[in-house]
Each structure stands twice: as C-alpha cells, then as structure tokens.
Amino acid sequence: MALIIILSRAGLSLDVRELKKSGRSAVMMCFIPASCEIIGAVIFVPLLLGITHTEAALAGSVLAAVSPAVVVPGMLRLIEENRGTDKQIPQIIMAGASADDVYVIVLYTAFLSILTGGHATALEFLQIPTSILLGIVMGIIFGLILSIVFKKIRTDPVAKVIITFCVSLFMVYIEEMGKSLIHISGLIGVMAMGMTIFLKNKPAARELSGKYNSIWKIAEIVLFVLVGAAVDINAAVSNGIAVLILFLICLLFRMPGVFICFIKTRLNLKERLFCMLAYCPKATVQAAIGAGALGAGLSCGNVILCMAVLAILITAPLGAFLIERTKGKLLNKNSPG
C-alpha cells in the first residue's frame, strides 16, 4: 500500500513529454546499474565467501534493487524546489527506480528457481519487458478512464483519492491473480496511470498529488517501521566484516553503471555524481526477499540475508541524507516555469 502511494505520487508529478527528452537515459537506468551490481557480486562473492557463482548471482539480485520508498520522496522534493528539472534529473531517477525493481525481482526468481532444482527458461527473462509494457498499457487505460470521469463528474479531492487508490489496488490484484497466465506489473501500472492523469487532466493531478503528499506523511512512518521490523540485526553481526566489504564492492560496481547511463547527455559531472549517489538507497525489496534463500533451505541463505540487512541499515538512511545534503551543491535551481 505504501508503494502504491509512492508510485502514485511519482506518476502524478511526471510529465511524459518532458521525460521523452531524456528517454534513453531513463530506459538505461532501469537495468544497467542493477546489472553492473549483479556482475560485481558474481565476480567477488565467490572469491571472498566460497559460494558458487549462481548463489552469488542470487545474492546480487537481492542487493541490486533500488528503493522507491527512499528515492521517490527525495525526487519529488527536487521537483517542488525546481532543482535539476531543466534536465529531467528527478524524473529520470524516479522512472528508473520504479522499473528497476521489476527487472531485479524477475532475475531473483529465475536464479532462485535454478538453485532450488528448477530451471530458468528464456521465457522467464522475456517476462521483464512484457511485464513492464503490459503494466504501462494497463495504467494508461485506467488513467484515461479516470481522467474522463474526473472531468465529467465533479467530486471532492478526497473522493478522487479513494477512487484512484482503489483502482491502484485493483491493478495490483490483477497482477497477483494473473501470474499463472501472464505477468503484468501492477506497480508500473500505478505510475503509468498517474502520468496519464497528469497528461490529460492537470487540475485533477494537482489535487490528487496534494492529498497523496498528506497521506504519505503517515504512510512513511508505517513503511519504515515495518521495514525495521523485518531486519534481523543478529544476522548482520554474525557474518562480520567480509560481507560488509562485499556489499561495498557491489555498490562500487553500481555507481559506474549509473554514470554509463548519462554518457553523451547534457548532464555535467556534478549532476552525474548526484545521480550516482541518489540511485544507491535500498530498503523495501531487500526487506521483502532478503530471507527468501534462507527460507528455501539454501546454504548461502544466511550470507544473503546478512547482505540484505546491511544494505538496508547503511544505504536507506545514508541515501536519504546524501540526497538532501548534496542537492544544493550538485544541482542547479531553475526558475519556475
């Protein structure tokens, strides 16, 4: 539910026409940084911990997801302050962070299937683009319907929020119920719906965005309390310094991946550095799947859980802090409009 609120806020603040100007970078941000981090894990985790390369790939896929729960609120504040918006920096990071999770979770599922005695087919990897594309189509359809409804029928902003939230829950329900037949990303659909409403009915988008901002103040507390409750501190302590070093190595692979996404763009070095820092926070996905390998009875389960815990403990607060503290030094403030 918190992710629905986060991605709704993101979609209602994203102008797809502006995002098109940097479309290549936004698409590359969906998979290149995560892929670089997984490559780093495959190379170094077996060397330092003695696990197999496939187990290392699973560990890398757990680590590789960026956290919309941390990134999106920070980027929305940048949009409100008109920082970096002339080059669509916050918009690109928000769009990439939302699709990045879909890519990583599909890879995680494939690697886990291999390690538990199954096999990963080419069809499973094709689910990544099809899941994203079908989610976008679904979101656009519902966004167009709601845009028309809000124009034809006058309702107060609270009613509009309830309606859009229920439709968002319905899209996530469609994703869960349709998994056996076809993969659709409900959360990508939520963001696409918000972007469509912004494009077709800006007054309604502004009303909804304001109300979602108010709701987020409560949802943010609930979300991070739940993430904290999922963290096993003992697992982090017991596996020691080696896992911390591996985690930092993987992070160093991720940051050049972000840099690659902005080659031959208008961004200067300071702006690219900001993007590299802003694209590191991890929290929600790691809390959700970090214990999956342990639950499946894999020998590498404790190591992977430890890396996920450290990722949350270090990057979630540090990422939020760096976004807030470096934005004034690394990004230009643009004049409104």
Of 5-14, 26-35, 41-50, 86-95, which range is least confident?
5-14
Task: Output the average pLDDT for the chain.
Answer: 83
What pLDDT score does 86 carry? 86
Mean of the pLDDT values across residues 304-326?
87
Question: How far apart, in whole angstroms, are the C-alpha atoms of residue 261 and residue 25?
Answer: 5
> Which of the four pLDDT bands, split at 50, 70 and 90, describes residue 241?
confident
Instruction: Give 78-111 pLDDT, tens digit per residue.
Output: 988 899 888 889 988 988 887 787 788 778 877 8
The pLDDT value given to residue 193: 92
Domain ranges of the chain: 2-330
* Confidence at 148, pLDDT banded by 50, 70, 90: very high
Query: Options 1.20.1530.20, 1.10.8.50, 3.40.190.10, 3.20.20.10; which CATH number does 2-330 get?
Result: 1.20.1530.20
Which residues, other chains included, contact 85 with Cβ-Cβ below 8 Å and sequence gap of 6+? 78, 79, 91, 334
Instruction: Give tens-digit pLDDT for 48-78.
Output: 888 889 899 999 999 898 888 788 888 988 9
Give the span between the Cα atoms of 323 and 4, in whole angstroms.
22
Count Cβ atoms below 10 Å from residue 260 Cβ, excluding itself: 14
Task: Judge contact between 197 and 10, C-beta under 8 A.
Answer: no
- pTM (whole model) above 0.85: no
For residues 174-187, give the mean pLDDT.
78
Looking at residues 293-297, what average pLDDT do you find?
84
| Model confidence at 3: pLDDT above 80 | no
User: What pLDDT shows up at residue 279?
Assistant: 92
pLDDT score, position 232: 63
Angstrom distance (rounded) from CA 270 to CA 95: 21
Secondary structure class of 333 (helix, strand, coil):
strand
Nearest to 93 by CA among 289, 280, 282: 280
- What is the pLDDT averaged over residues 267-282? 92
Helices (H) and strands (E) in the chain, counts: 16, 0
- Is 140 within 8 Å of 86 (Cβ atoms)? no
**Distance of alpha carbon 221 from the chain centroid:** 18
Section 140-146 average pLDDT: 94
Question: Looking at residue 152, what is its pLDDT?
Answer: 87
Higher pLDDT pick, 96 / 277: 277
